[in-house]
Amino acid sequence: MESFSETMKKAADSVWQAILAHPFVEGIGDGSLSRERYEFYLKQDYAYLIEFSRVFALASAKAHQLDDMGYFAKLLDLTLNTEMDLHRRTCAGFGITSEELEQTEPAMITLAYTSFLVKTCYEESLPGIIAVLLPCAWGYVYIANDLKSKGLPDTQHYREWIETYSSEEFLEWADWLRNRMDAFASEAPTVDKERWKNLYLQSARFELLFFEMGYKEEMWPELLPQ
């Protein structure tokens, strides 16, 4: 029987296929992505991860079980000290300091995505929060493993990106969130599961828009002053 997390992912399959075929993602995989685009993405992703970390902290506070509280605290540490360190190391190699990263002005998509996550965190119980976290947490593992299966690029920072997100540590993170999602769904009414599936889909769409933003290096749409 298909798990609920698989059902959610299948509902967003067209989004995931668009992400895998996106020139930004393909450019990481074959090493052809320009450094300028990658720098823009890293800065925006750093701004995103700061807010993503707040969501983990809020999720830990809203959890009813100590095990859940502890694991969300672990995910907060993983994000702040492992994932964000990848950005700091890579950007240091590009001559960008940690202070500059922290002062990054969020682009429109970054602001919209993180605002959606934080809003959901305040409005939803734990399963709704997990639903909006999964497209990032599980999605990056999915993308990295797809790229890894095609062979690693020669460019070090793209190879490191793929190796980081395809690592056992990040797979364990994604699997834990999936298992908790499935456990909540097994006891939930259909109306709740439909809402969680819609929340997942909205986050998945934001993931696609985030890669598009990185490829265009777009702070705001062209019709607005930059």
CB 79 within 8 A of CB 175: no
Half-sphere exposure of 104 (CA within 13 A, CB side): 27
pLDDT score, position 39: 96
| Distance separating alpha carbons of residues 113 and 178, to the nearest angstrom | 21
Q: Determine which one of 99, 207, 217, 222 is catalytic.
A: 207
Look up the domain containing 54 and give its range. Answer: 4-215
pTM higher than 0.85, yes or no? yes
Is 207 designated active site? yes
Residue 84 lies in a domain: yes
| Distance separating alpha carbons of residues 54 and 76, to the nearest angstrom | 8
Structurally, the chain folds into a number of domains equal to 1
User: What is the mean pLDDT of the segment spanning 167-194?
Assistant: 96
Is 136 designated active site? yes
Q: What CATH number has the domain bearing residue 112? A: 1.20.910.10
Mean pLDDT over each residue of the chain, to the nearest integer: 95
Q: Determine which one of 91, 121, 124, 136 is catalytic.
A: 136
Residue 226 lies in a domain: no
- 5: CB partners within 8 A, 6+ apart: 134, 138, 178, 181, 182, 185
pLDDT at 103 over 70: yes
Residue 40 lies in a domain: yes
